[in-house]
């Protein structure tokens, strides 16, 4: 039987109790990082804050922010707060200039993360009679193993099919009767089309889907829902914080409940760092208050968002975040992979080329297309076409190595890339990702 909540006592906890729990955990977490992470201690000392100054969530604003730059600087072990012998896993995302972000987990961290994902699955109606089809990639990416662990905890039969191989996906769906699909929204849309093409929609038993790791619009949601005949739910998370399940949608589909017993959310003015009141749009900042191995205090996500504590008809009391409404930096998410324009600049410079480029991202047939126009330069040119194409191939390979995804490179005429007010337009994103 499917349950209404996975952990009812926590998910419907009265707000004042929830805040007291957060305060208690925050105080302990601050002490934990102060004692175990010299990098944090130095940052706090620099700001003149000690654990004694943090008596509850009302003192949160006193703590310094942590950014992706800190994670890179501290790579790989600089922010580790638990002994390595207690760590059981890592996950990782690509970062700028080739340096990755690596997050560590103790067994307890994994358990709590799995709980978060189990709450998300339970919220969409998954229970012990369900077959959860996990088409997120398994591996360093958190999508696959996160929903996998959650599905186990929720007692579902789990198909760890991972991404790719559409025929196999559809065969398992029809043969084993998958009821809940977990993948990126673009892959869900792709699968929906493939199912239509093969004329097997009648053999599909899906009732719900959890789709995250990419921005998607309400329009795309309706499209997936209509094509697959399911309810499509959003899920949010960051590898830095654990993975998917930092927040998730309930049946109301009007925002994602943040798992506040594990994460404290703030909205700040991205320019000044000032904390904004509930309901105002700003940058989302998270503090993980239960993480043992890789706790983050006031981590700036760069996602622009609005929080709301209006009572939800689902009965959950945890604060809701809207779908992110954009980024406060220039990061692009292409086919689920984080791409910074500066990475392309680095590759071009490494290859001895002039860094005049333009990224064009679009979505065709529900898949992101990724093109990079590179202005031809004297260094790259030759009267011999084969030499130029060899250099072009080398460039494509170096970009793939740096970014982790394939881009189509087009060599274009010098000075042909659009410049507005003298500044080259580096990114043209034709996808309509934000409502």
Partner 1 sequence: MAVKQISVFVENKSGGLADITKALSDANVNIRALSLSEATDFGVLRLIVDDVFAAGNALKESGHIYNITDVLAVAGEDKPGSITKIFTVLAEAGMSLEYAYAFFAKSQEKAIMIIKVADRLAAKKVLKEAGIPLVKEEEIAKL
> Residue 84 or residue 385: which is nearer to partner 1 going by CB?
385
34 three-state secondary structure: helix
Written as one string, the DSSP assignment of 309-329 is ----TT---S-EEPPP--BSS
Among 389, 394, 406, 418, binds partner 1 (CB under 8 A): 389
Q: At closest approach, how far in Å is the CB of 377 from partner 1?
A: 7
Residue with tokens 């869900």: 188
Residues 394-423 that bind partner 1 (CB under 8 A): 410-416
C-beta of 389 vs 394, nearer to partner 1: 389
Identity of the residue, 219 or 387, whose beta carbon is nearer to partner 1 in the bound complex? 387
Q: How far apart are CA 182 and CA 291, in angstroms?
A: 24
| Shortest reach from residue 395's CB to partner 1, in Å | 13
Of 25-33, 274-282, 361-369, 373-381, which segment contacts partner 1 by CB under 8 A? 373-381
396 backbone dihedrals φ, ψ, rounded to 5°: -60, -40
3-state helix, strand, coil in the chain (%, to 5): 35, 25, 40
74 touches 58 (CB < 8 A):
no
Q: Is 272 in the site for partner 1 (CB under 8 A)?
A: no
Judged by CB under 8 A, the stretch of 12-20, 128-136, 221-229, 383-391 that binds partner 1 is 383-391
Select 176 or 409, whichever has its Cβ closest to partner 1: 409
Q: What is the DSSP secondary structure assignment for residue 58, as one 8-state letter?
A: G
Query: Contact with partner 1 (CB under 8 A): which of 272, 313, 378, 420?
Result: 378
Q: How far is the CB of 176 from partner 1 (least distance, A)?
A: 43
CB nearer partner 1, residue 171 or residue 382: 382
Site string for partner 1, 323-362 (x = CB under 8 A): ----------------------------------------
Using CB under 8 A, pick the residue from 17, 107, 382, 394 that binds partner 1: 382
Q: What angle do CA 100, 134, 218 make, to 5 degrees?
A: 85
List 38, 77, 280, 381, residue binding partner 1 (CB under 8 A): 381
Q: Quick check: 259 and 119 in contact, CB under 8 A? A: yes
* Binding mask of the shown chain, residues 49 to 88, with x at each position contacting partner 1 by CB under 8 A: ----------------------------------------
What Cα–Cα distance (Å) separates residue 403 from each residue in 95, 197, 229, 391, 426? 9, 32, 35, 18, 16
Which residues within the stretch 176-215 sit at the binding site for partner 1 (CB under 8 A)?
A: none
CB of 414 to partner 1, least distance (A): 6
Nearer to partner 1, 367 or 382 (CB): 382
DSSP string over 250-279: -TT-SSEEE-TTTEEEEEE-TTT-PBPPTT
CB of 386 to partner 1, least distance (A): 8
Among residues 408, 406, 350, 423, which one has the least CA distance to residue 374? 408
Q: Which of 392, 396, 417, 429 binds partner 1 (CB under 8 A)?
A: 392
286 and 263 in contact (C-beta within 8 Å)?
Answer: yes
Least separation in angstroms between residue 419's CB and partner 1 is 13
- From the list 207, 183, 184, the residue with the least C-alpha distance to 131 is 207
SS3 378: helix
- Residues near partner 1 (CB under 8 A) are 376-378, 381-385, 388-389, 392, 410-416
């Amino acid at each position: 039987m499917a349950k209404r909540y996975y952990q009812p006592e926590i998910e419907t906890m009265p707000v004042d109790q929830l805040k007291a729990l957060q305060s208690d955990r925050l105080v302990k977490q601050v002490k934990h990082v102060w004692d175990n992470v010299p990098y944090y201690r130095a940052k706090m000392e620099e700001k003149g804050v000690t654990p004694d100054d943090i008596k509850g969530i009302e003192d949160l604003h006193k703590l310094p922010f942590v950014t992706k730059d800190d994670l890179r600087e501290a790579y790989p072990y600089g922010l580790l707060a638990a002994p390595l012998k207690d760590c059981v896993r890592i996950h990782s995302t690509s970062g700028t200039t080739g340096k990755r972000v690596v997050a560590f987990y103790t067994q307890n961290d994994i358990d709590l993360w799995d709980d978060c994902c189990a709450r998300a699955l339970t919220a969409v109606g998954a229970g012990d009679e369900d077959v959860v089809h996990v088409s997120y990639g398994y591996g360093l990416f958190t999508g696959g193993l996160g929903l996998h662990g959650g599905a186990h905890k929720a007692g579902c039969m789990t198909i760890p099919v991972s991404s790719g191989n559409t025929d196999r996906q559809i065969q398992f769906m029809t043969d084993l009767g998958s009821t809940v699909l977990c993948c990126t929204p673009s892959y869900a849309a792709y699968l929906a089309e493939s199912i239509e093409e093969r004329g097997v929609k009648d053999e599909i038993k899906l009732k719900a889907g959890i789709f995250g790791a990419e921005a998607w619009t309400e329009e795309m949601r309706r499209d997936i829902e209509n094509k697959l005949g399911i309810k499509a739910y959003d899920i949010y998370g960051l590898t830095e914080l654990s993975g998917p399940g930092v927040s998730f949608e309930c049946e109301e589909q009007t925002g994602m409940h943040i798992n506040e017993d594990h994460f404290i959310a703030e909205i700040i003015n991205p320019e000044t760092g000032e904390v904004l009141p509930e309901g105002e749009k700003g940058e989302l900042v998270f503090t993980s208050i239960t993480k043992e191995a890789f706790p983050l205090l006031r981590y700036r996500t760069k996602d622009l968002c609005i929080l709301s504590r209006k009572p939800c008809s689902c009965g959950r009391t945890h604060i809701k975040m809207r779908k992110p409404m954009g980024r406060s930096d220039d990061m692009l998410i292409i086919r689920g992979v984080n791409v910074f324009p500066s990475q392309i600049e680095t590759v071009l410079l490494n290859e001895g080329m002039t860094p005049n480029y333009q990224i064009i991202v679009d979505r065709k047939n529900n898949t992101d297309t990724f093109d990079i126009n590179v202005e031809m330069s004297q260094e790259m040119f030759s009267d011999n076409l084969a030499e130029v194409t060899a250099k072009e191939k080398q460039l494509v390979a170096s970009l793939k190595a740096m970014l982790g995804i394939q881009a189509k490179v087009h060599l274009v005429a010098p000075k042909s890339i659009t410049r507005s007010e003298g500044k080259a337009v580096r990114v043209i994103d034709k996808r309509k990702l934000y409502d």
